[in-house]
Amino acid sequence: MDTPEPRRRRRVGRVAAWGAGLLLAGVSVVAGFRVADSDGVTPVPQILAFLPWLLVPAGAGLLLAVLARWRVGTVWAVVALGVVAWYVEPYGNTDAPSGPAVAEVRVLTSNVEFGGGTEGLIEAVREERPDLLFVEECDFACSAQLREELPRADYPYRESVEASGAEGSVILAKVPLKSADGVEGTLGMPGAVADVRGHAVRVQLAHPMPPLPRGVGLWQSELRRIQEYAASGGGTPTIIAGDFNATQDHAAFRKVLDEGLRDAA
């Protein structure tokens, strides 16, 4: 005769198995696009930005599968955890460049969010004293404040896209800058060529549109333009800094790195 206790255990086991299956299915879909080197369609690009955090639902799925005594689910969870953990490792070339250094350049970049973080940025600049400063979402007020608070004697060189809201961007430099075409985009992305101790260095501010649910195509096309810029250097040293609105778990960003760049992060 079936007693209440075994029935309760079976019911708990079924609920745990269903919960594990749902969690692991979601993790597996997103991880599958990462394995396939694709950003997919909404909501995959948005979730890929948080890929390391998928260790949490994958771990919860493993616990639920063990609770349910679901062997297939347990193996599934272990595989899902392994795949996500594998991609936590940095992507691309992480080795230091070979040969002696010919110059040292300190770079600082900050998205000041419609100019709201300008004061904090100025404090950081005074403390860190970068040679090159890239500022995204620097509106008219932000641009004026940088002119006022950071003396021209400290940062005599400037390239910018003067605009309101998120469209404004500024590059400030202690080293000489020569004007150059920036990457075309919805938001301002100025570019220049810096003279670093007699060496020409291409510098480009990056700020493509984010992968909004209805704007994934635009996000990919603007990252593709940044990739094309990186590929066009012909061996000239290149620094691309800014807010890429992407992580190493996005295929579109990995293609940028594949053009011979190293991710400073």
Q: Give the DSSP H or E segment for 109.
A: strand 107-111
Q: Are residues 55 and 164 in the same domain?
A: no
Instruction: Identify whether residues 200 and 234 lie together within a single domain.
Output: yes
Cβ–Cβ < 8 Å for 209, 188:
no
User: What is Dmax (Cα atoms) for the chain?
Assistant: 90
pLDDT at 93: 82
262 within a domain of the structure (yes/no): no
In order along its 265 residues, the chain shows pLDDT tens digits of 556 667 777 888 899 999 999 999 999 999 999 999 999 999 999 999 999 999 999 999 999 999 999 999 999 999 999 999 999 999 988 877 788 888 899 999 999 999 999 999 999 999 999 999 999 999 999 999 999 999 999 999 999 999 999 999 999 999 999 999 999 999 999 999 999 999 999 999 999 999 999 999 999 999 999 999 999 999 899 999 999 999 999 999 999 999 999 998 7
Two tokens, residue 190: 């100025």
Mean pLDDT of the chain: 95
Is residue 19 located within the same domain as residue 112?
no
Burial class (CB in 10 A: 0-12, 13-18, 19+), 217: exposed
Whether 12 is in a domain gets the answer yes
Residues 130 and 20 in one domain: no
Helix axes 55-67, 71-86, angle to 10 degrees: 160
* 230 shares a domain with 112: yes
Contact (CB, 8 A) for 138 and 165:
no
Q: How many domains does the chain have?
A: 2
Judgement on whether residues 155 and 27 belong to the same structural domain of the protein: no
Burial 29-67 (b: 16+ CB within 10 A, else e): ebbebbeeeebbeeebbebbeebeebeebbbbbbebbeb
User: Are the C-beta atoms of residues 256 and 223 closer than 8 Å to each other?
Assistant: yes
Q: What is the pTM for the complete model shown?
A: 0.92
CATH number at residue 225: 3.60.10.10
Cα separation, 140 vs 254, in Å, equals 33
| Nearest partner of 220 among 209, 231, 229, 228, judged by Cα | 209
pLDDT (0 to 100) of residue 88: 93
Q: Rounded CA gap, 11 and 67, in Å?
A: 12
> Distances in Å between the alpha carbon of 250 and those of 41, 45, 116?
12, 7, 28
Contacts of 138 (CB under 8 A, 6+ apart): 112, 115, 118, 146, 160, 168, 169, 170
pLDDT at res. 2: 57
Q: What is the pLDDT of residues 164-210, one digit of tens each?
A: 999 999 999 999 999 999 999 999 999 999 999 999 999 999 999 99
Assigned domain for 170 exists: yes
Task: Provide the token pair at 249.
Answer: 């778990």
Residue pair 178/193 in contact (Cβ under 8 Å)? The answer is yes
Residue 11 burial class via C-beta count within 10 angstroms: exposed 0-12, middle 13-18, buried 19 and up: exposed
The residues with which 191 forms a beta bridge, in sequence order, are 180, 204
Q: Does some domain include residue 101?
A: no
Residue 43 lies in a domain: yes
- Whether 95 maps to a domain, the answer reads no
Looking at the fold, whether 175 and 221 belong to one and the same domain comes out as yes
Q: What is the residue range of 37's domain?
A: 4-86
Q: 251: part of which helix (H) or strand (E)?
A: helix 251-257
The reply to whether 114 and 235 lie within a common domain is yes
- Looking at the structure, do residues 80 and 133 belong to the same domain, yes or no? no
Q: Which of 87, 89, 145 is nearest to 121 (CA)?
A: 145
92 neighbors 258 (Cβ within 8 angstroms): yes
* Alpha carbon distances (Å) from 142 to 133, 148, 168, 177: 14, 10, 9, 21
In a domain, 180, yes or no: yes
User: In this structure, is residue 99 part of a structural domain?
Assistant: no
